[in-house]
């Protein structure tokens, strides 16, 4: 069974998404994958993006450069330049934006993936309609 995609709104540094991402099946495959996390606070987003980068690697295969970054020996830019494709995947997964200003989120919700949990604080009415419309199309 494929992993269920999760969209995390008002994500902060991504703690709730980490919980979803860490839940695996007995055979080792993930139950959930983080499809998108959105956070407007720049500092929280830095952590969110770094964790998204971390999740691009199998758990036992993290590169030494990741640990060098954590030790302060390698800048974030240098880390991401060393692994540009995985850094791009992390950037696609974690957005630094205000929810109301991101029309692309609505399109991403309707891309045809599903079922998926939408995680967040309070969803304005228009978002509830989007979720309902997505369910009705299935």
Query: Parallel, antiparallel, or unpaired for β 32-39 and 94-96?
Result: parallel
pLDDT at position 119 over 50: yes
Q: How many domains does the chain have?
A: 1
- Give the pLDDT score at 43: 92
- Give the pLDDT score at 134: 47
- Give the pLDDT score at 120: 58
pLDDT at position 116 over 80: no
pTM for the model stands at 0.72
What sign results for the dihedral spanned by CA atoms 32, 34, 38, 43? positive
Q: For the residues 41-52, what does the mean pLDDT come to?
A: 92
- Give the integer Cα–Cα distance in Å for 85 and 135: 32
Could you tell me the residue range of the domain that residue 76 belongs to? 4-136
Tokens describing residue 77: 């830019």
> For residue 6, what are the β-bridge partners?
34
- Give the pLDDT score at 127: 44
- Give the integer Cα–Cα distance in Å for 84 and 93: 14
80 neighbors 53 (Cβ within 8 angstroms): yes
Strands (E), the chain: 4-8, 32-39, 94-96, 118-119
84 vs 14, 38, 48, 88, 90, CA distance in Å? 22, 21, 17, 6, 10
pLDDT at position 52 over 90: yes
Higher per-residue confidence, 137 vs 63: 63
């Amino acid at each position: 069974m494929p992993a269920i995609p999760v969209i995390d709104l008002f994500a902060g540094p991504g703690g709730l998404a980490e919980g979803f991402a860490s839940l695996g099946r007995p055979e080792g495959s993930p139950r959930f994958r983080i499809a998108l996390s959105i956070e407007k606070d720049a500092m929280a987003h830095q952590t969110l993006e770094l964790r998204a980068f971390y999740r691009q690697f199998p758990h036992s295969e993290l590169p030494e450069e990741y640990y060098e970054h954590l030790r302060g020996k390698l800048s974030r830019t240098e880390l991401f330049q060393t692994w540009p494709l995985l850094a791009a995947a992390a950037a696609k997964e974690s957005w630094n934006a205000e929810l109301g200003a991101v029309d692309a989120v609505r399109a991403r919700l309707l891309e045809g993936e599903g079922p998926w949990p939408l995680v967040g604080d309070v969803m304005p009415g228009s978002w509830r309609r989007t979720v309902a419309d997505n369910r009705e199309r299935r």
